[in-house]
Structure 1
Amino acid sequence: MSKHGDLKAILEQEGFAVIPDFFTKEETAQILSVITNADTTRPTFRKAKDLFAIRQFLKEIPEVTGKIFNDKLKNFISEVFGNKYFVVKSIYFDKPGQSNWFVAYHQDLTISVDRKSEIPGFGPWTTKQNQFAVQPPLELLQGNFTMRIHLDDTDENNGALKVIPHSHAKGLYRPETIDRNIETETICNVPEGGIMLMKPLLLHASGKTTNDRKRRVIHIEYSSSNLPDDLNWSEQYAIF
């Protein structure tokens, strides 16, 4: 078995996995350099005191794709998941060092698509910043995975994700029903250059920053599913 051969099994069982030191410091610096030099005036760039975010990140800054999807990452995805997956969503998050922004426990239940269409099993629908989002059938979400590329050392003091292991296997799991006597919480510390894999249905949250350190993360969602009735992903990038 190759060194990454058991990662998919861990991801399916636990709902998440952390691979430290995947990108070198030089590689993360190159990625950040491209982001720093980008034009931030477009509407998909969200700027606030507590957050700077770029939606449709790979589409907005195409120069960064070669830095992220180098041979090492493409070989990793192929080895762990196969060659049928493609990117369906990408967001860059920059959580400033003094941010008081936090996210409560939730599952990632929606996908981003190009338009609204009445399709059985798809709904409810929402629209944010001219982007259509819909909750698809659970089977579609269960086949997807998310990758978070960390460009800073991240721990419980600057917004590392907190997760409930195995919660992805329980279908729709409302945060208010979490039984703290049964469930355990894990804090996913990830060093600079590390990546975190997670299933969309995994319950996860993040806290406020308390140590005055930045937390910059590239969030990428992958799928191998085609959408029905000529519905299209709002963002799609072929890895292979």
Structure 2
Amino acid sequence: MNQKEFFSENGFALIDNIYSEEEINSILHEIENADSQNDTFRKSSDLFAIRQILKEIPEISPIIFNENLKNLIREFIGNDFFIVKSIYFDKPETSNWYVAYHQDLTISVDKKVELENFNFWTKKQNQFAVQPPIEILKNIVTIRIHLDETNEENGALKVIPKSHSKKIYRTKTTDWSAEKEVSCNVLRGGIMFMKPLLLHSSSRTTNNQKRRVIHIELSNFDLPNEINWSEKQIIN
């Protein structure tokens, strides 16, 4: 089974050596020198996050979408996908931030409109989110770019393989004894492809090591005319 087939069947794939040390350092340099006063920046003792990072720090886009990544996107999902969401997460060395098993069930849009099968509207930092029909969620592919080595000790994602194929999961009624858990350990400069409907969680940090990740979502799905993807960008 090749990586593309593994991704389709299991809902995730891990690929190392996508970025050089120089590229990682360049990305981190741009992040560290960005203006953190904007509403899209959030900082606490447990988490530093930047929403819409590709809009806030456009200088990192050509580094992120290097030939290695663009070739993988073409191989795994095709030529017509575009960016619909981007977030930077920095889980500090002393973080006690734990995230229970969940699916990513919302998309970011430009406004709130009453539409059939678009539910559970929220608004955070001037950005609307909504749970769309499942066909849209199935179409999305997430890329997690690892700016640090990530393992079980500093909050690597844990996933339930193949859970993306079971539609909306109800974790409270899940028979966890029948599920297989996998820790997604990724080297610095590697990436993870993931389907948002894949059940995933993140543990607390125990080894005093950072876990910095850029989370990017791609889609080629056209939304209803009444709304737009709030972060839609073409991959150059």
Query: One fold, TM greater than 0.5?
Result: yes
1:138 corresponds in structure 2 to 134
1:104 aligns with 100
* SS at 2:223 equivalent: coil
Counterpart for residue 117 of structure 1: 113
Residue from 65, 80, 85 that aligns with 1:69: 65
Aligned residues: 236
Cα distance in 1, alignment partners of residues 54 and 48 from structure 2: 16
1:152 corresponds to 2:148: yes
| Secondary structure, counterpart of 1:32 in structure 2 | helix
SS in 2 for 1:181: helix
1:133 maps to a residue whose letter is A
Q: Any idea what the Cα deviations from partners look like across 1:77-120, whole Å, max 9, x if unmatched?
A: 12221111001000000110000011110000000000001111
Report the 3-state secondary structure (helix = DSSP H, G, I; strand = E; otherwise coil) of the residue aligned with 1:134: strand
* Residue 72 of structure 1, CA deviation: 2.2
Among 148, 173, 190, the residue aligned to 1:194 = 190
CA distance in 2, matches of 1:135, 1:27: 35
**173-182 vs 35-44, which deviates more?**
173-182
| CA distance, structure 2, for counterparts of residue 177 and residue 154 of structure 1 | 30
Q: CA RMSD in A?
A: 1.2
For the residues of structure 2 that align with 1:149 and 1:155, how far apart are their CA atoms?
14
What is the TM-score with the length of structure 2 in the denominator? 0.97
**Conserved 8 A contact 2:164-2:198:** yes
SS at match of 1:88: strand
SS in 2 for 1:27: helix
Higher mean C-alpha displacement, 187-196 vs 170-179: 170-179
In structure 1, the gaps of 5 or more residues are: none
Deviates more, 1:219-228 or 1:121-130: 121-130
Distance in 1 separating the partners of 2:174 and 2:9: 19
Runs of 5+ consecutive residues of structure 2 not aligned to the other structure: none
Matched, 1:47 2:43: yes
Alpha-carbon distance, 1:209 to partner: 0.4
1:1-240 alignment to 2 at 5 Å? 6-240=2-236
Cα deviation 1:52-87 (Å, max 9, x = unaligned): 000001000011101111222222212221111001
Could you tell me the percent identity over the aligned residues?
Answer: 60
C-alpha contact 2:159 2:200 (8 A) present in aligned 1: yes
